[in-house]
Amino acid sequence: MKKDKQQSFLRKPYDRRLCFYLILLLAAYCILPTASFAARMQSRAALVMDASTGKILYAKNPDLKCLPASTTKLMTAIVTMENADLNDVVTISSKAAHVPPHRAGFKEGDRVMIDELLHAALIGSANDAAVALAEAVAGSEERFVELMNTKAIEIGATNTRFINANGLPGPGQYITVHDLAKIMDYALRYKKLKAIIGTRVTEVSTMGGNTKLIRNTNRLLWSEEDLVGGKTGYTNKARHCFVCAAERKRDTIIVALLGSPSRRNLWKETEFLIGRGFDVMEDRETPTVYLTKADYTGTARSKRSYRRHGRSRIKKVHGKSAKLAAKKPLKYKKTKIYVKKIKRIKTCIKTKKGCRVAKKDELEKDKG
């Protein structure tokens, strides 16, 4: 009797549909977390790689060419390790002392050991230290860049091109997250570099006794237990960049991100990717690669930055009349200026005094 009731229950169309929907929901629950993660990733490109095998565990746009920012200094450090004695003393040049914008504060004529410059470049991301290293190794930054690009090809980073030793933006410069992960993996072969990128705070000194306190720009060193170390990067065009290594038991993974919209988002996504990478290593997740539509010419400014730049542009172009409206929202300011411009043209048509007559097609063109 009980068996008959169960069979009759399942024969009802409503109940069959309900079972079908429950199965669909269960499948979606298993699939959606993985699929929706790609949509939540705000960085232009990201990658997790098994350091021992080079296998990709997760990737979003792994071969998308992006700007490297100060992650460039990893290659600067590698070339320095292979071509210089760390105990050599370098005299800081005028070019190195005045390179913008982030510096350790070395002055022209300061004498500094290469070892100290490496710490300043990798821990404090000091541009003056990076240029000083380039000049010490190759005689000039231009010749040093040739060594950097040659080394990139040797490592297998064939979708990378450097134009300077510090990562400041310029034409013809690019890297992919896959190449950046390869460069980090290669850098870990040097115990010295591995120790430096894992240092939280240190002091660097000149031969004259001037000491500077350097704090690591990598915030995850204070919060992520599995982190070995990493290198940050930021410019307006490149946005926030980061590459790091993490170890758990006997497994080591490399995480690389390029073009993140904010530093907060960068840390959040890095922590997620570290967890994701170890889940794949322990067979709790499957390797995944996503390709998404991306802006290959650069990322858009943030809303606040756009308003700031837009405001200054309006002041310059439209002069005193626009300064009164500068405190109002950008959308409103543009509307007001647009209306004034149209009114001025219409006035010229009516009066014909002191200005030429605007034709109808010109007025329509101005509206566009």
Return d(Cα 281, Cα 53) in angstroms, integer: 11
Q: Which of 65, 73, 151, 333 is catalytic?
A: 73
Q: Is 73 a catalytic residue?
A: yes
Q: Is 36 a catalytic residue?
A: no
Q: Which of 43, 70, 93, 260 is catalytic?
A: 70
Give, in order, the Cα–Cα distances in Å from 320 to each of 136, 220, 327, 366. Answer: 51, 47, 13, 22
Return d(Cα 277, Cα 228) in angstroms, integer: 15
* Closest to 255 measured CA to CA, from 269, 243, 238, 263: 243
Q: Which of 60, 125, 151, 333 is catalytic?
A: 125
| 198-205 contacts at long range (C-beta below 8 A, 24 or more positions apart) | 198/227, 198/228, 198/229, 199/119, 199/123, 199/229, 202/119, 202/123, 204/104, 204/112, 204/116, 204/117, 204/119, 204/120, 204/124, 205/112, 205/116
Q: Is 125 a catalytic residue?
A: yes
Q: Which residues contact 286 (CB under 8 A, 6 or more apart)?
A: 34, 280
Give, in order, the Cα–Cα distances in Å from 21 to each of 25, 65, 178, 270. Answer: 6, 43, 40, 36
> Which residues are annotated as catalytic?
70, 73, 125
